[in-house]
Amino acid sequence: MSAPTTASGSAGPIAAEAPAALTDRAPQVPAERLVAEMVPPPRFATVSFDNYITDPGQPSQAEAVEALRAFAARLDGGAGAKGGRRRHWFRREAKPAATGGGPRGMYLDGGYGVGKTHLLASLWHATPAAPELKAFGTFVELTNLVGALGFQQTVRTLSGHRLLCIDEFELDDPGDTVLVSTLLGKLVEAGVALAATSNTLPGKLGEGRFAAADFLREIQGLSAHFRTLRIDGEDYRHRGLPAAPAPYSDDTVTRAAHRTPGASLDAFPALLEHLSRVHPSRYGAMCDGIQAVCLTGVGPVPDQSTALRLVVLADRLYDREVPVLASGVPFDRLFSEEMLSGGYRKKYFRAISRLTALARDAKRLADTPGGR
């Protein structure tokens, strides 16, 4: 019996074990893991201000780097870091400013693909404090931490930190926004420095712009502590790169999944249905150990709730640098024109950008006989 062939006709070995299926995974994530994983994800584990490539035509990028460098330099670690241990409980007495008298928080505003997460992670790395005295997570991950630990315990846990970085701060859900706003107020009182990136509703705040007054009113009582940095520019993920590969056939995707160690294989409609049964905070854990995601039958997303869940999955796959090989329609046709012109369009364009980058990474899986 002859060996199966790739799309290019080359023989390629089939993995001994069948690929995993994301639809078979519904992980439970303990609270301890939620706290331990509040660090920059793998894609941003080694980033720095030095390897952030600024666009000479966008001076706001270089200005943001310098402002964040200065902010990190003012975070000298404080008593908790100098003592080599956390302050475990929220104290009543007034805390010294975490930033040496400068702004207590930095807010990075800009379009998708300008490197806001890179800069936020670089700030985390550059802050002179032990890793356990710094926290990094998305807005969704932070709200899930509050849900798992309870509000008071979250305050106690995070008030011993020198820095809290929140990626993709969202204004979609008023309840979550007020919850996190109250939490951040407590943390600032405890001397914690804050940094965040903007992921606001463009329909409310303006296309590609951040209405600082609107956001800072949500962070009740913190407006005097934040400095907003506007970061302009093009999407770096596709600047000067070739177009993303066209979708492959179902057969090519299936064969690639079978010969690629650690790959998953799912029908796209079934995966969308499965996402509705798993809390978005668990999507990262759902991808544990997955080296490549292979999807057959990709088509337009049917409704906004499904689309928003897919955005979260795309973010977690991008964070973990998991390539995505797919058949069906191109990723730029996932979301309807109505979605792309509505209040969540900024999220959808970010998802398209990130999935397109991951599709480019996955091209080698279809082109290389060994799937490597």
Percent of the chain at pLDDT exceeding 90: 51
Closest CA to 353 of 371, 335, 372, 327: 335
Band the pLDDT of 330: cuts 50, 70, 90: very high
Is residue 199 a contact partner of residue 169, using CB atoms and an 8 Å limit? yes
Query: Looking at the structure, do residues 147 and 247 belong to the same domain, yes or no?
Result: no
Give the domain extent around 344. 22-28+242-367
Q: Inform me whether the pLDDT recorded for 216 exceeds 60.
A: no
The answer to whether position 35 is within a domain reads: no
Query: Looking at the structure, do residues 103 and 173 belong to the same domain, yes or no?
Result: yes
- Taking residues 227-246, report their average pLDDT: 72
The answer to whether position 327 is within a domain reads: yes
Residues with Cβ < 8 Å from 243, sequence gap 6 or more? none
Query: Looking at the structure, do residues 105 and 253 belong to the same domain, yes or no?
Result: no
Query: Looking at the structure, do residues 155 and 205 belong to the same domain, yes or no?
Result: yes
Band the pLDDT of 61: cuts 50, 70, 90: very high
pLDDT digits (tens, 9 = 90+) for 101-110: 556 789 898 8
Query: Looking at the structure, do residues 64 and 160 belong to the same domain, yes or no?
Result: yes
Query: Looking at the structure, do residues 127 and 275 belong to the same domain, yes or no?
Result: no
Query: Looking at the structure, do residues 272 and 194 belong to the same domain, yes or no?
Result: no
End of a domain among 168, 203, 231? 231
Quote the number of domains for the chain.
Answer: 2
The answer to whether position 3 is within a domain reads: no
Tokens standing for 217? 């009113």
Tokens standing for 317? 């796959």
- Taking residues 259-286, report their average pLDDT: 95
Q: Inform me whether the pLDDT recorded for 334 exceeds 80.
A: yes
Band the pLDDT of 218: cuts 50, 70, 90: low
Q: What pLDDT score does 344 carry?
A: 83
The answer to whether position 219 is within a domain reads: yes
Residue 115, amino acid:
G
- Taking residues 41-67, report their average pLDDT: 93
End of a domain among 183, 212, 231? 231
CATH number at residue 209: 3.40.50.300
pLDDT digits (tens, 9 = 90+) for 134-186: 999 988 889 889 988 999 999 999 999 999 999 987 766 666 767 877 888 89
Q: What pLDDT score does 199 carry?
A: 57
Q: What pLDDT score does 212 carry?
A: 45
The answer to whether position 88 is within a domain reads: yes
Query: Looking at the structure, do residues 182 and 140 belong to the same domain, yes or no?
Result: yes
Q: What pLDDT score does 140 carry?
A: 81
Q: The pTM is what?
A: 0.76
Q: What pLDDT score does 342 carry?
A: 84
Query: Looking at the structure, do residues 360 and 262 belong to the same domain, yes or no?
Result: yes
Q: Inform me whether the pLDDT recorded for 98 exceeds 80.
A: no
End of a domain among 211, 231, 251? 231
Residue 331 or 198, more confident: 331
Query: Looking at the structure, do residues 225 and 270 belong to the same domain, yes or no?
Result: no
Query: Looking at the structure, do residues 352 and 299 belong to the same domain, yes or no?
Result: yes
Q: What pLDDT score does 168 carry?
A: 83
Lowest mean pLDDT among 1-10, 172-181, 340-349: 1-10
Query: Looking at the structure, do residues 221 and 109 belong to the same domain, yes or no?
Result: yes
The answer to whether position 4 is within a domain reads: no
Q: Inform me whether the pLDDT recorded for 248 exceeds 80.
A: yes
Mean pLDDT of the chain: 81
The answer to whether position 157 is within a domain reads: yes
The answer to whether position 182 is within a domain reads: yes
